[in-house]
Copies of this chain bind each other. A is one copy, B any other.
Amino acid sequence: MTTPTTSPIRNGVDTTKLFATLDAIKADNEIADFQFRAKNTWVSGTHSRTTFQDFYGAKQEMAHEHETVMDADHPAVLVGADHAPTPVEHVLHAIAGCLTAGIVNVAAARGVKLNKVSSTVEGDIDLLGILGLSDGSVRNGYQQVRVQFHIDGDADDETLRALVEQSRRRSAVYDVLTNPTPVVIDVVTE
């Protein structure tokens, strides 16, 4: 365990709490069993709406401080009403947010002060897949996702790059995208 030499708050991360959380989980692995949840309701056409509120973790039912409502839709060119980004765009937000949170946590743990972290994410997709117009050679999802980070911090180039690499190694969303994740679908008709 690293003891911060100055304030325990670094990059907005409470490092005292961060290390205490790690210690608590080391002492009782069950604390680390989490289940995240979302509820989605169809609105009209390709437009649907998700709410997030409760989740399970740290051996108890928990809830976010406030409920979040989030929409998804297709743009007009894809026969939607463009009320919100497409589902595949939300995936780009997820990978950027996960890697960024990881970079900041790792930097805080390593004593690196960050001044700026920004990223642009691009995902290439050939819609012949989802439209069923391919001979089977075109996948439905992204062919490639690219994340470019711009990072400014009080450390040398090598140290800053190592933060990104450690974040990638420990990223939940990076794992979900780059490795197979089982998705079970169940249907109740009414």
List residues of A whose CB falls within 8 A of some B CB: 11-14, 17-18, 21-22, 25-26, 29, 32-48, 50, 52, 55, 57-58, 62, 64-66, 68, 70, 72-82, 84-105, 114, 116-133, 139-153, 157, 160-161, 164, 168, 170-190
Copies of this chain, tallied across the complex: 2
Measured in the bound complex, the distance between the Cα atoms of B145 and A20 in whole Å is 29
Do residues A40 and B148 form an inter-chain contact, with CB atoms below 8 A?
Answer: no
Indicate whether A184 sits within 8 Å of B145 (C-beta atoms), given known contacts A21-B79, A132-B170.
yes
Chief secondary structure at chain A's binding surface: mixed
- Provide the residues of chain B in CB contact with A173, threshold 8 Å: 87-88, 91, 141
Q: Which residue of B lies closest to A47 (CB)?
A: B12
Q: Is the CB of B79 within 8 A of A13?
A: yes
Within the assembled complex, what's the spacing in Å between the Cα atoms of A78 and B33? 12
Return A154 CB to nearest CB of chain B, in Å. 12
